[in-house]
């Protein structure tokens, strides 16, 4: 028998997919870890589960309690699923710039959703800081605090990194992905570097994020902007701090969109903008490294979460972008 134990038992163990078009183009094996196949639909199910398990083990989260989080959507969706499965309540503070699909999913799952103006991290009303304050003022509530809670990267160290190592028989030359909290990039990089320090670890960053310059120069500076959601950061989180990252590649939106539509039309893989950044950056890295290398990245979430944006031609055109 092979039976999973509820939602929680179904998180992780996602397939690793060879991306044919991009592998042929580069002469490398470009492999995408299909995190959009997680039961809550994104890579963030893993972090959500570890954060809740950690709070339970520490006795911080008790029956009937509430999980509060500030999130661009995917972590909130993962948390809301797990809260339903385990009998907790869920309160999500989200920047009002995020897609309607993610807001709708959160409400459908029964989470209390508080959209707030998107202001910078320095502002006391930033969604992350606000969620921390709300949690501290509530009875029997925890703040998931995905950005600085190390249970997040631990999830990727113990599960995503381990799975990538197993699925490739250790034959992996490079690991590259974009970051929001840094949990995925850092956790997997730590695991793979412990196994083989020669594996190259690379950040894929959208425009508008300060992390590309942080990896390149040690200083957080940003330029430009991006339509991608859930990735890029203005600061170095606790989850990113000390992560063994060798290099960074920056991808502009037109290239990201082109890759998203190539994945859809030529591979039949329907994913969101962060996956476009990841695969575009993996291709750039493959060209830098030369043929014959195995490069692993993340397919973070489904394109269905961005139907009204990335896959709406009017919206796309209004951003000055096109599928080709």
In which residue are the tokens 């113990």 written?
Answer: 158
Q: What do you get for the CA distance between the two ends of the chain, in Å?
A: 46
Q: Is 183 in the site for ligand PMP (CB under 6 A)?
A: yes
Nearer to ligand PMP, 190 or 300 (CB): 300
Binding mask 34-53 for ligand PMP (x = CB under 6 A): ---------xx---------
In 3D, which of 20, 136, 152, 21 has the Cα closest to residue 79?
152
- The residue within the footprint of ligand PMP, chosen from 14, 126, 184, 297 (CB under 6 A), is 184
Residue 303 in contact with ligand PMP, rule: CB under 6 A: no
Binding of ligand PMP at residue 182 (CB under 6 A)?
Answer: yes
Output phi, psi for 55, to 5 deg: -65, -35
Q: Are 35 and 305 in contact (CB under 8 A)?
A: no
Q: Which of 54, 69, 173, 301 binds ligand PMP (CB under 6 A)?
A: 301
Q: What's the DSSP call for residue 159?
A: I
Indicate which residues carry an active-site annotation: 44
From candidates 28, 34, 72, 80, binder to ligand PMP by CB under 6 A? 72
Binding residue (CB under 6 A) for ligand PMP from 39, 230, 276, 303: 230
Residue 160 touches ligand PMP, criterion: CB under 6 A: no
Per CB under 6 A, the list member of 80, 172, 204, 231 interacting with ligand PMP is 231
Q: How many residues of this chain bind ligand PMP (CB under 6 A)? A: 19
**If binding is defined by CB under 6 A, does position 74 make contact with ligand PMP?**
yes
- Indicate left, alpha or beta for 196 from its phi (over 0: left) and psi (-120 to 50: alpha): beta
DSSP code of residue 300: -
Burial of 66-75, coded b for 16+ CB within 10 Å and e otherwise, reads bbbbbbbbbb
Q: Are 314 and 301 in contact (CB under 8 A)?
A: no
Residue 300 binds to ligand PMP (criterion: CB under 6 A): yes
x/- letters, 188..227, toward ligand PMP (CB under 6 A): ----------------------------------------
CA–CA separation, 194 vs 244, rounded Å?
10
- Cα separation of 22 and 26, whole Å? 6
Q: Which residue's beta carbon is nearest to the bound ligand PMP?
A: 230
Binding site for ligand PMP (CB under 6 A): 43-44, 72, 74, 178-185, 229-231, 272, 274, 300-301
């Amino acid at each position: 028998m092979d039976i999973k134990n509820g939602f929680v038992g179904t998180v992780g163990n996602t397939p690793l997919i060879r991306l044919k078009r991009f592998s042929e183009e580069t002469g490398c094996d470009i492999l995408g870890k299909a995190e959009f196949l997680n039961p809550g639909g994104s890579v963030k199910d893993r972090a959500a589960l570890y954060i809740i398990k950690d709070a339970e083990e520490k006795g911080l989260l008790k029956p009937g309690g509430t999980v509060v989080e500030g999130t661009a959507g995917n972590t909130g969706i993962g948390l809301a699923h797990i809260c339903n499965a385990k009998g907790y309540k869920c309160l999500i503070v989200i920047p009002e710039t995020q897609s309607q699909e993610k807001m709708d999913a959160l409400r459908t799952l029964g989470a209390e959703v508080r959209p707030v103006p998107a202001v910078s991290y320095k502002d006391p009303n930033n969604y992350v800081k606000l969620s921390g304050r709300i949690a501290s003022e509530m009875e029997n509530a925890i703040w998931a605090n995905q950005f600085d809670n190390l249970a997040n990267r631990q999830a990727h160290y113990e599960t995503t990194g381990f799975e990538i190592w197993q699925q490739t028989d250790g034959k992996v030359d490079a690991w590259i992905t974009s970051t929001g909290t840094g949990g995925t990039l850092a956790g997997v990089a730590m695991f793979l570097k412990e196994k083989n320090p020669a594996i190259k670890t690379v950040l894929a960053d959208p425009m508008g994020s300060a992390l590309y310059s942080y990896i390149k120069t040690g200083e957080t500076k940003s330029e430009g902007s991006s339509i991608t959601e859930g990735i890029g950061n203005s600061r170095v989180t606790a989850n990113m701090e000390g992560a063994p990252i060798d290099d960074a590649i920056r991808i502009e939106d037109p290239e990201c969109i082109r890759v998203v539509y190539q994945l859809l039309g030529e591979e039949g893989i329907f994913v969101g903008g962060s996956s476009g950044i990841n695969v575009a950056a993996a291709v750039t890295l493959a060209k830098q490294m030369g043929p014959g290398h195995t490069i692993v990245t993340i397919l973070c979430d489904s394109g269905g979460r961005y139907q009204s944006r990335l896959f709406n031609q009017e919206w796309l055109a209004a951003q000055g972008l096109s599928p080709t």
